[in-house]
Structure 1
Amino acid sequence: MPRPAKGARLWFDKKAALWFIRDGSIKRGTGCGFEERSSAEGKLRAYIEEKYEPPTDSRSSALLVADVLTYYSREVAGGQRSKTSSYSIERLLGWWGAKPLSEVKRSTCQAYVEHRASQPIRQATKSKKPKLVSRETARRELTVLRAAINAYHAETPLDALPVVTMPKQSPARTRWLTRDEVARLLRAARKLEEKDSARALQRFIMISIYTATRSGAVRRLGWVENTLGGYVDTGAGVMHRRGADEEETRKRRPPIRIPNRLSGFMRRWKDEDMRETKERKAIPFVIHFRGKPVKAQRKSWEEARANAGLGKEVTPHILKHTAVTWMMQSGADPWDVAEYAGTSLKMIEDVYGHHHPDFQGDIASRIGRR
């Protein structure tokens, strides 16, 4: 019996030291070296789109998982601004691609989770003991697989709809920073030797902790309206967290009033950045390094975190978590907190409700009364 095709995928030729696209008997060069994996992935996506023909079969036993994932990538995920689905599809294709859709069941889903949990994180492969992919990451990838199957089923009803079995969801994070810990983190950021990194990290910490904004949205902020991300209108005192061309997603980014304690800093930062001199042009980005926008701050964050005496569990996302916790502790209305943070009211009540001073206050006062 012939082996099923694995579908289009990347393959690294050690002799040529280049990435190639393998698709059955086809071998196409990308011209990309080992360190240019992201560019090779782009060429693989272009190749798949070039040869793409929408599948129309309704038999789950006749369809490959690769067919369904490719359909989802082309028809649904391609219109999403976030790259999360694209990254997940690439990982899913590597393991599921050659399997028929009927093979999606509880045992294979569990096997996929174990497979991913044994792999090192790509960005951490240079360390002596690389960090492994978390089960939560594998869970998110299976969520994309489920979405792909449902999207295909909505267009071409399947004779048997496979059930994607998810691993248990990780419990919500309970760690948040005290005001003293945030102050230590800011002091450590100011003392970084690389002054551009120090300035960028200080701004990132202050904006995140005062506005409860997700890290990606903070780093994409500009001083003028743009299509890449949000912008800060210091005149109106409003921070727009979503770009002009960005679609709203479940991770909402509604505009918010700039907090009083942050507005003065914002005005001063804008004056500094937008002032043109003979030496440099105006810088339209709020978070920048040597005049360029910043996509990540891993090195500076880790250095400042360690110097502040904080543990490795303190990641950039903890700033949003801390901001929401502080708002609830201050007695703010949960609905207002949810709208300000761009988070669902259910999430606020389930994860942060116990921090509110009125949490179960009425029922607790009634226990024991006649």
Structure 2
Amino acid sequence: MTKTTEDRAPYLVWPKGKASWQIRDKRRYISTGATRKPDADAALFEYMKRRDEDAKKAAAGSMASTTLRNILDIWADKRKRENPGTWERKWQYIYKTIYGKSGKMLLHAIDQKWAYWYEQERYEDGVEESTVRQELSTVLSAWRLARNSNPPLTDLPVPELDLPPSSDPREHFISRADAGRLIAAANKDYLRLFIRLCLATGGRHTAILQLTWSRVDLESGTIDLRNRSDRETVVERNERGRRKRAVRQKPRAQVRVEGLILEELREAQDRAASPFVIEHSGKGLGSVHRGFKAAVIRASLDPDTVTPHVLRHSAITWLMQDGEEIYKVAGFAGHSSARMIEKVYGHHHPDFQTSIAKRLAQR
């Protein structure tokens, strides 16, 4: 690609009618006063050195005026590209909250004193410590992105803020007896199958609703909850043009099932009128919340805590209570690492306090 005059670095020319070498910088001509080429080269070197120093000073002045909003915009653009669904559901509200409280503040004023002020402001709004922690963590995340952007928005080091404590992982789960009552309370075939599948596979309720018969192998007893076709794609522009990238999807697994659930799946397949395993009136379902909540109430369970997602928590918790190996549970849940399973569910495992019990017994 041919460079234009606007793209070129400064260079030497001797235009017709001039008495000395000239520096051509875009559309400007700067006289060197030199008639010898070596002297003109030296003048060009000094000119470029001064120009670079002036650019650095201008950049430093621009960085000094960088506000919290400026770095939040970098963070927001990244979130929108990588996970637009979560942006709409969650991150945009965090962005608006921080911007509304402190968006116009200069970065050099963001320190621990500000963090204490922000924390108290949010407590007066009625939010929990975990919410404040997430918002302050967002500021730090945006700051790191701004330092690594091209060009950098700031050269200030990321501050070390004293964050509020994180909340304990949510652990709502139901017992096997509760699950039996819930299944009995489900007055629709599709709802009963939905509950059984969630408990048998540990799958997220959205994965179960999106499950099609093409990913169910009744002969081998395997169900593939991974569905690459439903991943939303984002079109990005870069220096080479356009490219498509799939939006990140939460972990899903390929699992084996056996026993009663296989018989129920065979019966459901015989009467299927759509490609979806969970269907009603010949169509797939986008949600089962209304019917599920009614079944929860009929089963005398708490509808505020027993949601469809609790079925996944319950299946994983039961495996941990049964002493199943953690890495196998992680694979069943679709995670490549056992760290999250150990963090959230580890205390349900019978080996969790074995060493403590042994010490107490010895004493």
- In 2, Cα distance between the equivalents of 1:341 and 1:168? 27
Which residue identity does 1:310 align to in structure 2?
L
2:122 and 2:132 in contact (8 A); partners too: yes
Shift of 1:320: 1.4
What is the Cα-based RMSD across aligned positions, in Å? 3.4
Shift of 1:233: 3.7
Shift of 1:159: 2.3
How many matched pairs?
Answer: 278
- In 1, Cα distance between the equivalents of 2:211 and 2:189? 15
Structure 1 counterpart of 2:196: 206
Greater CA deviation, 298-307 or 236-245? 236-245
Structure 1 counterpart of 2:341: 348
Shift of 1:336: 0.5
Question: Equivalent of 2:116, from 91, 99, 107?
Answer: 107
Counterpart mapping for 1:211-290 below 5 A: 211-224=201-214, 231-245=215-229, 246=231, 251-273=250-272, 282-290=273-281
- In 2, Cα distance between the equivalents of 1:263 and 1:200? 15
- Tell me the SS of whatever aligns to 2:203: coil
Which residue identity does 1:253 align to in structure 2?
R
The 1:333–1:69 alpha-carbon spacing in structure 2 relative to 1, beyond 3 Å, is same
1:232 and 1:238 in contact (8 A); partners too: yes
1:324 equivalent in alignment to 2:323: no
The 1:201–1:59 alpha-carbon spacing in structure 2 relative to 1, beyond 3 Å, is farther
1:219 and 1:286 in contact (8 A); partners too: yes
1:159 equivalent in alignment to 2:151: no
- Tell me the SS of whatever aligns to 2:308: coil
Structure 2 counterpart of 1:96: 98
Shift of 1:185: 1.0
TM, length-normalised to structure 2: 0.64
Which residue identity does 2:344 align to in structure 1?
V
Task: Name whichever structure is richer in helix by fraction.
Answer: 2
Shift of 1:284: 1.6
- The unaligned stretches of length 5 or more in structure 2 are 1-58, 232-245
Question: Equivalent of 1:71, from 71, 74, 86?
Answer: 74
Which residue identity does 1:284 align to in structure 2?
P
- In 2, Cα distance between the equivalents of 1:293 and 1:57? 57
1:256 and 1:340 in contact (8 A); partners too: yes
Which residue identity does 1:100 align to in structure 2?
M
Per-residue Cα deviation, 1:202-257 (whole angstroms, up to 9, x for no partner): 23211111111222222222223xxxxxx434354322222225459584213222
- Tell me the SS of whatever aligns to 1:252: coil
1:88 and 1:144 in contact (8 A); partners too: no
2:67 and 2:106 in contact (8 A); partners too: yes
- In 1, Cα distance between the equivalents of 2:247 and 2:257? 21
Shift of 1:327: 1.0
Shift of 1:167: 3.6
The 1:294–1:326 alpha-carbon spacing in structure 2 relative to 1, beyond 3 Å, is same
The 1:93–1:264 alpha-carbon spacing in structure 2 relative to 1, beyond 3 Å, is same
Structure 1 counterpart of 2:300: 309
Question: Equivalent of 1:336, from 315, 328, 332?
Answer: 328
- In 2, Cα distance between the equivalents of 1:107 and 1:203? 50
2:317 and 2:348 in contact (8 A); partners too: yes
- In 1, Cα distance between the equivalents of 2:135 and 2:206? 20
- In 1, Cα distance between the equivalents of 2:106 and 2:249? 28
- In 2, Cα distance between the equivalents of 1:217 and 1:114? 36
- In 1, Cα distance between the equivalents of 2:87 and 2:274? 32
Residue identity over aligned pairs, in percent, reads: 29
The 1:214–1:99 alpha-carbon spacing in structure 2 relative to 1, beyond 3 Å, is farther
Which residue identity does 2:155 align to in structure 1?
D
- In 1, Cα distance between the equivalents of 2:306 and 2:60? 48
The 1:248–1:166 alpha-carbon spacing in structure 2 relative to 1, beyond 3 Å, is farther
- The unaligned stretches of length 5 or more in structure 1 are 1-55, 119-133, 191-197, 225-230, 274-281
The 1:94–1:365 alpha-carbon spacing in structure 2 relative to 1, beyond 3 Å, is closer
Structure 2 counterpart of 1:179: 176
Greater CA deviation, 335-344 or 92-101? 92-101
- In 2, Cα distance between the equivalents of 1:303 and 1:237? 31
